[in-house]
Structure 1
């Protein structure tokens, strides 16, 4: 609360929050569409590998040509305009308060986060792939530098973290939390060549819409959901299921019935978990009251009085009245990201931040893989990401999905098996590999 008032005060003082955006794709563009409408936020620099594409996206979201016509950062700051460049280092000028990293590339995200921390800038990590690969380590480094490392508000992990934090601040224990998605078991085998059929699109329609098949396949095959649940686990202390997410079909009306312990008629092996619910039944029928675009949390009333209050005020509970649920039916993605920017700069608080390594996402074979093949990474045709407890991942030396791109297999891996780091030729000198191994050593899995 009060962020809009604080933003208005900065605008009135002629000192809007200065922001550098790295990556002007879909998420970045959604933020830019709203930043242009907030006088308390000034996006001074946009760095993208393709400035022409970035300018095309700016035109699509309604920016005038003049808004992004600054020839340098100096010119942008002087004229309250924006400098567009392919040089990500331009965002690390000390006059930039907050860096928004929205590339989606784990290695690039780690590199950009480290640069921002070194420059004493707050960083909003839209790049959840990088966050899951080494987020707790990056968060610790940011804290040591006196800056904020934050999840991106508007993305589902940050919204779940907010819901969990609010419920806990009330004094109520959280039993389970997560998000909804469209899921069927066969989706784990989906490839960029087959993905559009699952979305009801032809390849021609998808191409005309500028849709990236590998990115959309990551959403479909379970990888993106796993990454998001691992991020939530690292930020909240809720743990992934031991053998991965089960994606049970569930409507909002059944949340408190499903997410209670098995001994009480639910599906939980223990309290305090993350899980994703499916918007379709296993026979592909639509779930009634689905939460495909939203987030949820289930909590419990521990006393008769609290449960009586639930009843008196119409809280949605299971038949016993002991377990209750809150949910939000949709998220606005990059349109909401200004909340993170304002919170970091004005309150010095993250909108979610992984403080301990609790959840990991391990590369799992979509088909029988052969030694000598080159892995194609998240959303590709060879592996999908499975969310498991970090302790299990560490014990099994599992290969994180963020390191499963462009590396050569050293051994055969059967379909359905998790890959180990020893199964691939990792470059130990690569920054992402070094940071991951440092996190494994300094942040032992909880």
Structure 2
């Protein structure tokens, strides 16, 4: 980290654009505005009011912000030190940026933003795991072809898990399982109306909190880990264990609940942390791990009790711009988070997608999804409609759905 900071000081100011003004995007704006070696140049959101509110919370004077939708006008304002606020995502990819951060969480918008940025020679750091699990490998290869970086971010749970995975591999620990804590009880069938009051208290949209409670968000985060490591859930949707770091080891082994190795899962009782369940490579390593109070063996929990989401994103931005290094990689689509019916659904119904009242996501292998023609939940939008009746807790197939013709869907088909 010391060397990276030296490189950052030598480079000067990293010019950053942010798309998305929800919790992560607005917090990142406030953080970058106070860091010495970063300049938030422009931020885009569907509503200017959201940007204005974020600026106010960040302590940015409204006089320093210019609402703009014209490229030449935006360039003039930036030259005079103003922050550009816009509803035009495309405008940001036309600006002179070192890095663009996708904080939308919207799969369709994320694909458009990412492709445009990479074609314009801008490094892309993505907080949009929802989109990454669908076309991340495609964007990674496109970036490399253009000598650019497309990457996930440190701090988000997939990034924190991958850091643990790389550390364990580097020092010779055999990784048995990877996973994360879940912050709230699991209710696959929850609706936006049921969580509205709680969501507003937390500063979240009801749709976003719905995607947390129904497990879709957890499935997608673990999906990203699968695509980066080749691991898979032991069962579709994972077990959802109840454990603490000390007792987690009791669930794994030839005579235990989870007999396989190379698995992902989520755990009630370990939020907001992430973990790697490992095995020592020999008796000498076992002896030292036990001396260090890591447990009795043969399995040990390497636990990180936090992940700092967008607070760690500047590290990923700096590594992308200064070193052309990726923080989090999706190397292959080995898993899919497929759409399941939250209730009995009728033909003609709009499906909504992630965080809707119609469907939730379930993690499974990509081979099963392909074999059974299952639809990833991230492809569903408000303009996706059901053609056939589907019963509660049944998966949706491509034959049963009319999907919106989006850039995301076309790239997915091409892959």
Task: Compute the TM-score of the two structures, normalised by the length of structure 2.
Answer: 0.93
Cα distance in 2 for residues equivalent to 1:340 and 1:80: 24
Q: Is the 8 A contact 1:30 1:333 kept in 2?
A: no
Q: 1:4: Cα distance to partner?
A: 2.5
Q: Secondary structure at the match of 2:265?
A: strand
Q: Secondary structure at the match of 2:104?
A: coil
Q: Which of 238, 241, 245 matches 1:248?
A: 241
Which residue in 2 is equivalent to 1:411? 388
Cα shift at 1:90: 2.1
For residues 68-147 of structure 1, the aligned pairs below 5 Å read 68-69=65-66, 72-93=73-94, 95-147=96-148
The 8 Å contact of residues 172 and 281 in structure 2, kept in 1 or not, is answered as no
- Secondary structure, in 3 states, of the residue corresponding to 1:337? helix
Partners of 2:147 and 2:362 in 1: CA distance? 34
Matched, 1:360 2:336: yes
Deviation of 1:420 after TM superposition, in Å, equals: 0.6
Which segment drifts farther, 17-26 or 64-73?
64-73
State the distance in 1 between where 2:354 and 2:25 align.
Answer: 20
CA contact (8 A) 1:44 1:73 kept: no
How many angstroms apart in 2 are the aligned matches of 1:98 and 1:210? Answer: 27
Distance 1:160 1:57 in 2: 29
Shift of 1:242: 4.1
Given that 1:25 and 1:54 are in contact with CA atoms closer than 8 Å, whether structure 2 keeps it comes out as no
Q: Deviations over 1:218-275 (max 9, x none)?
A: 00000000000001111122223342212111111112232x22x1x43323111111
* Structure 2 residue runs without a partner (length 5+): none
Equivalent position of 1:277 in the other structure: 267
Task: Report what 1:308 is aligned to.
Answer: 287
Q: Tell me what 1:444 maps to.
A: none
Change (3 A) 1:373 1:69: closer
Q: In the alignment, which residue of structure 2 is the partner of 1:381?
A: 357
Is 1:293 matched up with 2:272?
yes
Aligned residue among 222, 225, 232 for 2:218: 225
Equivalence for 1:39 = 36
Distance 1:396 1:271 in 2: 25
Show the counterpart of 1:51: 48
Distance in 1 (alpha carbons) for counterparts of 2:64 and 2:259:
54
Return the alpha-carbon distance in structure 2 between the equivalents of residues 206 and 161 of structure 1: 29
Q: Which residue of 1 aligns with 2:398?
A: 421
Aligned with 1:376: secondary structure? coil
**Aligned equivalents of 1:356, 1:208: Cα separation in 2:** 38
Aligned length: 409
Structure 1 residue ranges without an equivalent (≥5): 197-202, 279-289, 440-446
How far apart are the structure 2 equivalents of 1:346 and 1:266? 46
Aligned counterparts of 1:206 and 1:157: Cα–Cα separation in 2: 23
Structure 1 equivalent of residue 171 of structure 2: 170
1:313-369 per-residue CA deviation (whole Å, 9 max, x = no partner) reads 22x23x3x2211111112222122111111111121111110111111000011111
| Contact kept in structure 1, 2:234 and 2:260, CA below 8 Å | no
Q: How many angstroms apart in 1 are the aligned matches of 2:23 and 2:105? A: 11
Partners of 2:67 and 2:372 lie apart in 1 by 51
TM-score by length of 1: 0.87
Structure 1 residue 93: deviation in Å?
3.1
Alpha-carbon spacing, 1:306–1:415, altered in 2? closer, same or farther (3 Å): same
Q: Is the 8 A contact 1:183 1:222 kept in 2?
A: no
When residues 74 and 430 of structure 1 are mapped into structure 2, their CA distance, relative to the original with a 3 A threshold, is: closer
For the 8 Å contact 2:125–2:151, the answer to whether it is kept is: yes
Q: Distance in 1 between matches of 2:65 and 2:172?
A: 47
Contact 2:172 2:280 in 1 (8 A): no
Q: Distance in 2 between matches of 1:70 and 1:277?
A: 44
Given the superposition, is the C-alpha separation of residues 206 and 163 from structure 1 closer, same or farther in structure 2, using an over 3 Å criterion? closer
Structure 1 residues 67 and 312, CA gap change in structure 2 (3 angstroms) = farther
Q: Post-superposition shift, 1:123?
A: 0.5
Residue 134 of structure 1: CA displacement? Answer: 1.4
CA drift of 1:94 comes to 5.9
The aligned counterpart of 1:21 is: 18
Q: Where does residue 162 of structure 2 map in the other structure?
A: 161
Task: After TM superposition, give the deviation of residue 182 of structure 1 in Å.
Answer: 3.7
Displacement of 1:83: 1.3
Alignment CA distance shift 1:139-1:240 (3 Å): farther
SS in 2 for 1:129: helix
Task: For residues 264-318 of structure 1, give each alpha carbon's deviation from its aligned partner in whole angstroms, at most 9, with x where no partner exists.
Answer: x43323111111111xxxxxxxxxxx3121111111102101111112222x23x
Deviations 1:155-181 (A, max 9, x none): 111111111111111122211111101
Distance in 2 separating the partners of 1:134 and 1:222: 21
- Maintained 8 Å contact 2:340/2:396: yes
